[in-house]
Chain A
Amino acid sequence: MRVREVAVEAYREALPALGASLVGGLVAGLVLGGMRADLRAVEGLLVLVPALLATRGNVYGSFGARLATGLHQGLIEPRVGAGDPRLRAAAAAALANGVATSLFAAGAAFVILSTLGMPVTGLGRLAGIALVAGLLSGVTLTAVVVAVVFAGYRRGHNPDTLVGPLVTTTGDVFGVLFLLIAVRTVALLLGVA
């Protein structure tokens, strides 16, 4: 009967996080569904979507985990105004990793699609979209992660259990939303693809 107890406990613990990411994922999907014209116009953009969304989770999820560990160890004070150098260094590193990885994804997608002889838009456009989307979502996610983890910690929540669902939910929504803004911004600068 132990198996049943383990299963019920695991199910109960995971359901709220999955529910939150379900809502976030559906909102992200709705935005993506509204981008059909942009996806048709910018060839290769759809290939880039999973990599950009995963980068948000990988980079800012790890940033949140570091923040949670720092709070647990008492190395970081849960106040933004303190201008803690550790906090600033961790945030800057996350932002740099996020933007660098987004640019790498754009470059790699361009090379792979060109090598396979598949249609792909110019490298400048793809890199521009990745740069704008990476910067906007990076700044937003850094702020959201710091704000929610600090507020949650001060109210007695375990920051470790907040970070995962928070980053996957907001990462998907902001990831797709800023992708849309990035595509339109680059279209203004470089002309419509």
Chain B
Amino acid sequence: MLPVLLVLTLVELGSGLVLGRFEATLLRYPSLLVLVPVTIGTAGNLGSILAARLSTAFHLGTLSFAADDETLAGNAIATVALAASIFPLVGLGAWGLTALTGSTALPLSTVLAVSLASGLSLAVLAVAVTVVATYAAYRFELDPDDVVIPVVTNVCDVLGVVLLYLAVLLFV
């Protein structure tokens, strides 16, 4: 357990370094700082839910890794739809809570644009990462339950921060 934890910690420090790159912007605009934990959490959850479902389908033998596979396509669509439902609430919540507790230096539209753009691009990447990781586990004959979920959760955490950074560069 411990060696895996230490490797995952190094991966997460990568996303910390990305946060450090735009620390000044985050500290200037509190609504963006509120977005950090909720984006990381939602990103990791989207990935882990998809990974758990694909791992189960894989164990049940209902997953074929073909482009027209129904389980794969259905779960991919659900992941993007979940991101499209949750990330507007993420942006609205972050902006609203900041407005309630102090001053929002950014308009609601900017915070919404940042959370939606990072969230939707994240969903697409999360699908890609999960499919590749599940396929790799299958090829290397590893149990996807043991390997895929921690890898996907932590990689999605990092991707969440990277995409948040890119969205902030684009919209703020």
Residues of A within 8 A of B86 (CB): 18-19, 22
B42 to chain A minimum Cβ distance, whole angstroms, is 6
Task: Give the shortest distance, in Å, between B55 (CB) and chain A (any CB).
Answer: 13
Is A70 positioned at the interface, with any CB of B under 8 Å from its CB? no
Residue of A nearest to B76 (CB): A7
Q: Which residues of chain B are within 8 angstroms of A55 by Cβ–Cβ distance?
A: 5, 9, 12
Q: Which residues of A contact B23 (CB under 8 A)?
A: 39, 46
Q: Does A86 count as interface, using CB distance less than 8 angstroms?
A: no
Residues from chain A with a CB closer than 8 A to the CB of B48 are 164
Among A6, A22, A47, which residue has its beta carbon within 8 angstroms of that of B38? Answer: A22
Q: Does A51 contact B (CB under 8 A)?
A: yes
Q: Which of B131-172 contact A (CB under 8 A)?
A: 150, 153-154, 157-158, 161
Q: Do A108 and B150 touch across chains, with their CB atoms under 8 A apart?
A: no
Tell me the complex Cα distance, A48–B16, Å.
6
Q: Considering the chains assembled together, what is the distance between the CA atoms of A47 and B44 in angstroms?
A: 18
B161 touches A50 (CB 8 A): yes
Q: What A residues does B158 contact at CB under 8 A?
A: 50
Q: How far is the CB of A193 from chain B (nearest CB, A)?
A: 15
Interface residues in B46-98 by Cβ distance below 8 A to A read: 46, 48-49, 52-53, 70-71, 73-75, 77-79, 81-82, 85-86, 89-90, 93-94, 97-98
Closest Cβ–Cβ distance, residue A73 to chain B (whole Å): 16
With an 8 A cutoff between CB atoms, is A53 at the interface? Answer: yes
Q: Please, how many angstroms separate the alpha-carbon atoms of A101 and B154 in the complex? A: 15
Question: Is A29 a contact partner of B154 (Cβ separation < 8 A)?
Answer: no
Tell me the nearest residue of chain B to A111, going by C-beta: B13
Q: Which of chain B's residues has its CB closest to A119's CB? A: B20
A112–B38 touching, CB < 8 Å:
no
Say yes or no: is B118 at the interface (Cβ < 8 Å to chain A): no
The answer for the CA separation of A36 and B10 in the assembled complex, in Å, is 24
Asked if B9 contacts A54 (CB within 8 A), the reply is yes
Q: Is B82 touching A57 in the complex (CB atoms < 8 A)?
A: no
Segment at the interface with B among A8-16, A136-144, A149-157, A183-191 = A8-16
Among A6, A22, A48, the residue within 8 A (CB) of B78 is A6
Contact check: which of B40, B73, B93, B94 meets A50 at CB < 8 Å? B40
Closest B residue to A10 by beta carbon equals B78
One of B1, B98, B101 near A97 (C-beta < 8 A):
B1
Closest to B33 in A: A33
Q: Is A118 an interface residue (CB 8 A)?
A: yes
Name the CB-closest residue of B to A108.
Answer: B13
Which residue of A is nearest B73, CB measured? A3
Let me know if B34 is at the binding interface, CB within 8 A.
yes
A54-B9, A168-B45 are known; give 12 further A-B pairs, CB within 8 A: A3-B70, A6-B70, A10-B78, A28-B37, A29-B36, A29-B37, A30-B34, A32-B34, A50-B13, A53-B41, A97-B1, A104-B6
Residues of A whose CB lies within 8 Å of any CB of B are 2-11, 14-15, 17-19, 21-22, 24-26, 28-30, 32-34, 36, 39-40, 44, 46-51, 53-55, 57-59, 62, 93, 97, 100-101, 104-105, 108-109, 112-113, 116, 118, 164, 168, 172, 176
Q: List 22 A-B contacts (CB under 8 A).
A: A5-B74, A7-B75, A7-B77, A10-B49, A15-B82, A18-B45, A25-B41, A25-B90, A26-B38, A28-B37, A29-B35, A30-B101, A34-B101, A46-B20, A51-B12, A51-B13, A53-B41, A54-B9, A54-B12, A58-B5, A58-B154, A101-B5
